[in-house]
Chain A
Amino acid sequence: MPETPVLSLRGISKRFGAVQALSGFDLEVNAGEVVALVGDNGAGKSTAIKAIAGVNPPDEGVIEWQGRRVSINRPHDAQNLGIATVYQDLALCDNLDVVGNLFLGRELRRFGVLDEVRMEQRSRELLHTLSIRIPSVRIPVASLSGGQRQTVAIARSLVGDPKVVLLDEPTAALGVEQTAEVLDLVERLREHGLGTILISHNMVDVMAVADRIAVLRLGRNNGFFDKRSTSTEEIISAITGATESAVTRRQARIREERQARGEEEP
């Protein structure tokens, strides 16, 4: 592809104590492209997201923003570049109301004072586009349901005109209608020329909206797939490492059988 990717990661490694969560991880996102990042539980997807978002800066590796090498050491750095993130654990402040959470860190001000009216107005519009129903934008998010909280977290990522949006399992807690809205939203992001990284365990959703699919397995890249020329089965076998696990499963079966025989003839 001739254009420079808006975001590119090369050789990202991250270690937590004894766990090498990511090693030599590569990923590229172009403007107007949706890249799905898939992998089993514990594969390192959230770690990759947090490395980009500045929450847990990587130990090694290069992050390039629009072709320029950048260092993202704090969440603030990522925000300034134009990276918005929806975290798997949402990271909302339970004691603040919906408006407070949506604009946390980028409050609208008028004469230096919080402009609650305009923030409330924008909040209602944003939530409307996601067709979320909440009791009020002025109640603490603690009193919202899991899905409502998730929608608030998604809405929050859209507040600051981002160029790249990172969505870590954004639809995990959502109902049918809200999931459809989020997928619509992802498509709208693409139309508006934003780069999107979408993490999901739902292959149907992934195949529905992604342009490319990056598979992560045990902290390493395990293939990049173009949506148009790939089947779901191919991706699933890359996720599970099908060949390898067939071997291990067979060994396990033999071991079991031996044990069973050992118990029958004492």
Chain B
Amino acid sequence: MNGDRDSGGGPERPAGAPSQEPAPKAVPAVDSRLIVREEGLRGYVGEFRRKMRSGELGSLPVVVAIAVIWTVFGSLDSTFLSAQNLSDLSQQIVGTGMIAVGIVFVLLLGEIDLSVGSVSGLCAAIFAVLNVLNGMNEWLALLVAVAGGAAVGLIHGFFFAKVGVPAFVVTLAGNLFWNGLMLQVLGTSGTVNIPSESIVAKLYSTIFHSPATAYVAAGVGVGLFLLASLQDARRRQAAHVPFRPFGEIVLRTVVIAAIAFVAAYILNQYQGLPLPLLIFLILLVLLDFVLRRTRYGRQIFAVGGNIEGARRAGISVPFVRMSVFTVSGTMAAIGGLFLAGQIQSASQTSGGGNLLMNVIAAAVIGGTSLFGGRGSVWSALLGALVIGSIQSGMNIMGVSNAVQFMITGAVLLAAVVVDSLSRRSQKAAGRA
């Protein structure tokens, strides 16, 4: 789930490594001093401990954080872990999570986008004004709003990549500018209500009530994962490169299946699978594929790792930068529309408050490094889940906004500390 499928990251295992490699010379390509993993469960434990020591934390801290948060709030108030609350939570995290996906892309370059809050508000306002006030076709208005977010991102990218203004400054200026434009677009009314039968409201509120839908979705996801893993292992075996042993594939599939079907079961205990969650998950799978399986994704990681190295490898660094900021603007627009659908209005406060802080926190808490070149879109889901859980839990407990802000701030700091420390120990262990 956290981006290290396909044996990336870990050392090769003798379990799957064919020994009949064509060897014109007696020199093995792989160092004999390499610490190789033992087979079976002991091997897993050993590798796990080694990874922990060398700072390859992956998504472990965030999974632990979610477990702790759920345990604490669950024991303080039983309604927190009720099917209804968890189902609501799965809808509430989508807006933040979508915007955080864009932030993940930007963080992979080692940059930051401080404008996504305003951009999300602006795009919600564009939709509301075009569709609700001016009666434009709702799909067209949706398209214009998303295209507007993309254009805003492209503008940021242009000033950053072509003019050379630091991204932090461009997007800080953008934050104010687009907020102003949003107020202008909303005009005197200030608030535009989005009717509940509007496409944007329905995208957020639709739930597939038939229990079969959630189970089928879980089954399809798990099935695709299993097929892809098996196919990959088979090709690797045929090509005589290390591959994941069958037992390990089964184990991973079982873990993923357990998570997917338990989630489906809980959602079905309430009303069923929410549409926004399904859209979010599909988008995550697609973007994860783009980042890890396409040339473009490889270019993003390369620029995040070594700009000059990427340039010398023939990669167009300005193109990568502009496109990544365009992705960020687009995701901010999509997230903004989901947030508008949630509250069924676009108002002067849209995209304001602590939204910007929350989405950056979500990306970092989820395990994407602030230092560039390391991360995965799944951190947007995990991080949004942490932030959303804290907010939901504190709302149930009746904790004031003041305390919520402080706790969210502290969690963000903790995530950044974990990131910095793990980077330090990765350096010490020669992995950064």
Contacts and interface: CB of A to CB of B under 8 A. Distances in A.
Q: Do A and B bind each other?
A: yes
Nearest to A105: B313
B295 interface: yes
A75 interface: yes
A138 B5 CA distance: 12
Cβ-closest 4 pairs across A and B: A105-B313, A93-B305, A95-B373, A95-B305
B298 A121 contact: no
Contacts of B11: 135-136, 138-139
Given A97-B8, A121-B239, A136 B34 contact: yes
Interface string A88-121: 0001111111001000111101001110111011
6 contacts: A94-B373, A116-B6, A124-B29, A134-B31, A137-B29, A144-B430
Given A121-B239, A131-B25, A143-B431, A92 B309 contact: yes
B312 A87 contact: yes
A142 interface: yes
A75 B313 CA distance: 7
Contacts of A124: 21, 29, 241
Contacts of A138: 7-12, 242
B236 interface: yes
A140 B302 CA distance: 12
Contacts of B40: none
B250 interface: no
Contacts of A136: 11-12, 30, 34
A79 interface: yes
Interface in A163-203: none
Contacts, number: 133
A210 to B, nearest CB: 25
Contacts of B24: 128
A143 B430 contact: yes
A92 B306 contact: yes
A118 B21 CA distance: 15
Interface of A: 53, 55, 74-76, 79, 85, 87, 91-97, 100, 104-107, 109, 112-114, 116-118, 120-121, 124, 127-128, 131-140, 142-144
A107 B241 contact: no
Nearest to B373: A95
B314 A79 contact: yes
Contacts of A135: 11, 30-31, 33-34
Nearest to A140: B431
Contact of B239 (A113, A117, A128, A132): A117
A138 to B, nearest CB: 6
A107 B12 contact: no
Given A96-B301, A114-B298, A133 B312 contact: no
Contact of A109 (B295, B302, B312): B295
B42 interface: no
Nearest to B12: A136
Contact of B373 (A93, A106, A109, A121): A93
B29 A132 contact: yes
A128 B10 contact: no
A126 to B, nearest CB: 9
A263 to B, nearest CB: 50
A140 to B, nearest CB: 6
Given A96-B305, A114-B295, A124-B29, A75 B312 contact: yes
Given A104-B313, A120-B241, A134-B31, A114 B305 contact: no
B374 interface: yes
Interface in B31-73: 31-34
Nearest to A156: B313
Given A93-B305, A117-B236, A136-B12, A128 B312 contact: no
A93 B431 contact: no
Contacts of B33: 135
B302 A96 contact: yes
Contacts of B294: 112-114
Given A100-B301, A104-B313, 14 more contacts: A85-B312, A93-B310, A94-B305, A94-B306, A104-B298, A105-B313, A120-B239, A121-B240, A135-B31, A136-B34, A138-B11, A139-B11, A140-B431, A140-B432
